[in-house]
Structure 1
Amino acid sequence: MTDSRERDHRRRWLRKAGAACVAGCAAMLLPRLATAAPEPWPTRPVRIVVAVAAGSSGDLLARILAQRLEGMWKQPVIVENRPGASGVIGTEYVVNATDGHTLLLGTQSSILPKFTTKNLKFDPTTDLVPVYKVINYQLVVAANDGTAGKAKTMRGLVDLSRRDAEGLFFAGTGRTSIFNLTMALLNKSLGMKYSALDFSSVTAMNMAVMRDDAQFLVNTPSSMKAQMEAGKLRPMAAISAERYADLPNVPTLSEAVGYKGYLPLLWAGMFVPKSTSPAVVDRIARDLRAMTADAQFRSLVESRLSGSMVVSSPGAFAQQLNEEVSVWKGLFAELNYKPE
């Protein structure tokens, strides 16, 4: 009888010990599985596509980022310029990329074709994943020296456009580019009389205004720095709620003409195709954030590109995009803007 009880007790103890051992082993394995090293990335050269021509602010930013990322990723980082169709060509190229190593350094011009381009073959709001907002650019209305001399002020530029039988000519890079759209939105309140001429690049746009083929434009100060320093292009108003620190004598639109409407903000951010793995998205965002946290690097970028680098994340960038898309969508409807 005693032997039987001892055998039963021993079997119960062994079952409990076995269960505890299994649970303990599982507990030891789970953290290892959860913290297992992610798949190595990148495993080949990385391409950063910019949908603008060489020489623009976006192109320069991409090359500055590429140089730093090469050191972090231990792989070549190549900048590819794919301009055309107001950003659609470069954006569509990235949307269709499947190699897991193609990124897009885009702007609003990457997203807005959803509302401005008829028969678009992709949806930028769902076919691209926002990774990190990199920079907010400064943006100004500028005129050539002759036009600025006649107008004197932004208010004078508005009046000058109304006095001329043909109005003035505006230099842009396409009806759906951020420059053209910004002017169209501002003009809802400004009431300028102008016609838009489209050019293939920001450089060509600047040259056209200096030649007086067009009289004014919207652009970033960094893209006009040499021309502004030479007095060939003169900023008339800052498209901002406050004056820019490095352009203290340039009034805001509110100061210049009492503008109270929506102020479009030009930015640049990194996107990837929707097929990109979440681990890669997180890796890119983490490395871009580390670059932003580097005070010396941030100062270099901001001084060369007349903008402010942003502390961002995939979630924050996505939320900001959703809010901005909602604003643009409403404005397009208000303007009765028809896709072409």
Structure 2
Amino acid sequence: MFQNILRRARKACSHCLGATLAAAALGAAAQGTPYPAKPVKLMVAAGTASSPDAIARLLASHLGAAWKQSVVVENVPGMGGITGTERGARQPADGYTLVLSTSAGMAVGSSILEKMPYDPVKDFEPIALLMQLPNLLVIHPSVPAKNLQELIAYAKQNPGKLRYGHPGGGTTPHLSAVLLNQSAGIAMEGIPYKASSQMTTDLLAGHYEVLFHNSSVLLPHVQAGAVRAMGITGAQRTPQLPEVPTVAEAGKLPGFEVSAWWGLYAPAGTPPAVLAKVSADVAAALASPEIKGWIEKQGGQAGSGSPQALREFQAAETRKWRDIVKAAQIKME
């Protein structure tokens, strides 16, 4: 009887040992598979031919070469970045979907929507702040103002006459105009557009008078004399237009600063080792001459590639816009 019990015990232990060895082998195989082992999707919360799309494709090319895997860009525009960001939050947290989101999607949306369809903090892992890009304030030549102080005076003398275009509530062109209204005590009227290309075309045609937009988009029109530059919304002048002052200095509006920004995220729960690798490789990409040069050519500033830097910057932007949005009573259903 004792011998039978011993034989059964030995058999059970052999099964346990086999299971242990199998688990160890699987673990070793998993550890031996470098990330990424298959193509990676880069979901961009903006349309094609936009500034976020451009930096995404540069980043995808750089990472694809470094990883020896395809990095496929998928554009999901809508609501200033909220639509694509929501879809990104629902993706598997396995490192094979990265999300490029916007300032509206990650910092402003929570102030302008009654209920966000995702939590910008809890539903994502920050990877890197990619870049910041100031807006350029321009006016149609039909407006009799040579500088920002004259524009503000004209707006006060002609209440309701000046209109500004914007690509949706919570976007930086919209918020720039809202902040100018508040700071200067004027009341320009906003005209929303679904497509930023049509927004620019209508300004050039004189269908409205004022526009804040990416300096890279408006620079050719300024140089051609089709629009008149009033100021840059960043903290300092841009090398592309050194003669154009900041809005803060041109309008005597201390503290006026607005920049569009784009950050790279992963769905919450993505493995820390994957996040660390992606962050390090993105930091290297941002420091490369190709990407850094492109960002500077747009008049922008490259991010550091640090997850903590993005986390802190996002929190500061969320606090900044909460009071401004509340005072302007901006809401989206």
Deviates more, 1:206-215 or 1:260-269: 260-269
1:323 aligns with 2:316: yes
1:254 aligns with 2:263: no
Query: How big is the shift at 1:218?
Result: 1.1
Give, as a single letter, the amino acid of the residue that structure 2 aligns with 1:174.
G
User: 1 CA distance for matches of 2:187 and 2:328?
Assistant: 16
**Counterpart position of 1:310:** 303
**Counterpart position of 1:301:** 295
Q: 1:105 to 1:210 in 2, by over 3 A?
A: same
Q: Where do 5+ consecutive residues of structure 1 fail to align?
A: 1-32
User: 1 CA distance for matches of 2:194 and 2:88?
Assistant: 20
TM-score, scaled relative to structure 1: 0.82
User: 2 CA distance for matches of 1:251 and 1:140?
Assistant: 10
Rg (Cα) greater in structure: 1
User: 1 CA distance for matches of 2:32 and 2:267?
Assistant: 19
**Counterpart position of 2:130:** 134
**Counterpart position of 2:114:** 118
Counterparts in 2 of 1:231-250, with a 5 A limit?
231-250=225-244
User: 2 CA distance for matches of 1:175 and 1:300?
Assistant: 28
Q: 1:90 to 1:296 in 2, by over 3 A?
A: closer
Q: 1:214 to 1:129 in 2, by over 3 A?
A: farther
Residue number among 216, 220, 233 corresponding to 2:214 in the alignment: 220
- Name the count of aligned residue pairs: 304
Give the conservation status (yes or no) of the 8 Å contact 1:133–1:317: yes
1:155 aligns with 2:149: yes
Q: 1:145 to 1:105 in 2, by over 3 A?
A: farther
SS in 2 for 1:175: coil
1:91 aligns with 2:82: no
Give the conservation status (yes or no) of the 8 Å contact 2:80–2:102: no
Give, as a single letter, the amino acid of the residue that structure 2 aligns with 1:101.
Y
TM-score, scaled relative to structure 2: 0.83
Query: How big is the shift at 1:70?
Result: 1.2
**Counterpart position of 1:104:** 99
Q: Where do 5+ consecutive residues of structure 2 fail to align?
A: 1-26
User: 2 CA distance for matches of 1:163 and 1:265?
Assistant: 29
1:123-142 Cα offsets, whole Å, 9 max, x none, are: 11221221101112132211
**Counterpart position of 2:17:** none
Give the conservation status (yes or no) of the 8 Å contact 2:141–2:228: yes
Residue number among 194, 205, 211 corresponding to 1:200 in the alignment: 194
| RMSD between superposed Cα atoms in Å | 2.3
User: 2 CA distance for matches of 1:88 and 1:269?
Assistant: 13
Give the conservation status (yes or no) of the 8 Å contact 1:169–1:213: no
